Amino acid sequence: MRELRFRGISLDTNEWVYGYGVVQNIEHNEARIINSTGGNMMHNWDVKPETVGQFIGLNDNNGFDVYEGDILNVNYSGHLMKEAVVFSTGGFKKSYLGDENENHALPFTSLSSKNVEVIGNIHQHPHLLQETPSC
């Protein structure tokens, strides 16, 4: 079973924080990442709600965790495509811009960590989705 982990950008430090739980108040546009350090110690951080993303259970070819909102270089038999990780219709999917700038979201099928590399995320590096990858 996949370990549930979350991340978000801290409102205080503008850095990523990581934890094992998330609390969101949609009505007030608030979110908090929660982490336990063992025993009765709990840490929590107020984060930018739009940056909250869940670990998808996959590591890239460099061993980095892949989270919802990450931008990936995916190698399809020598052809690189840039794809964003999204949560849609009950599951994690890879999203890319098609020929007419149409957004496509497809399930993660037959992806292995050896053909995936995290190159950024949609919150800090949205320009990466517009650039053409090089092989």
pLDDT tens by residue, 17-71 = 999 988 888 788 889 998 876 667 788 899 999 999 999 888 899 999 999 999 9
Please, which pLDDT band fits residue 132 given cuts at 50, 70 and 90? low
pLDDT over 80 at 80, yes or no: yes
Q: Is the pLDDT of residue 128 over 80?
A: yes
CATH number for the domain running over 58-129: 2.30.30.290
Q: Are 105 and 88 in contact (CB under 8 A)?
A: yes
Q: Which two tokens stand for residue 77?
A: 């038999």
Complete edge-to-edge strand list for the sheet that includes strand 41-47 = 21-25, 30-38, 41-47
CA distances in angstroms from 34 to 16, 19, 46, 63, listed in the order given? 13, 5, 9, 24
Is the model's pLDDT at 11 over the cut of 90? yes
| Residues 30, 8: Cα–Cα separation, whole Å | 12
Q: What is residue 18's predicted lDDT score, i.e. its pLDDT?
A: 93
User: 36 has which bridge partners?
Assistant: 42
104-118 pLDDT, tens per residue?
A: 666 666 566 678 899
Q: Please state the φ and ψ torsions of residue 51, each to the nearest 5 degrees.
A: -95, -5
**Domain limits of the chain?**
6-51, 58-129
- Supply the pTM of this predicted model: 0.83
The upper half-sphere exposure of residue 128, i.e. CA atoms within 13 Å in the direction of its Cβ, equals: 18
Ranges assigned E (strand) in the chain: 6-9, 16-19, 21-25, 30-38, 41-47, 53-59, 65-67, 70-76, 79-88, 91-97, 103-107, 116-121
Token pair of 104, please? 């496509």
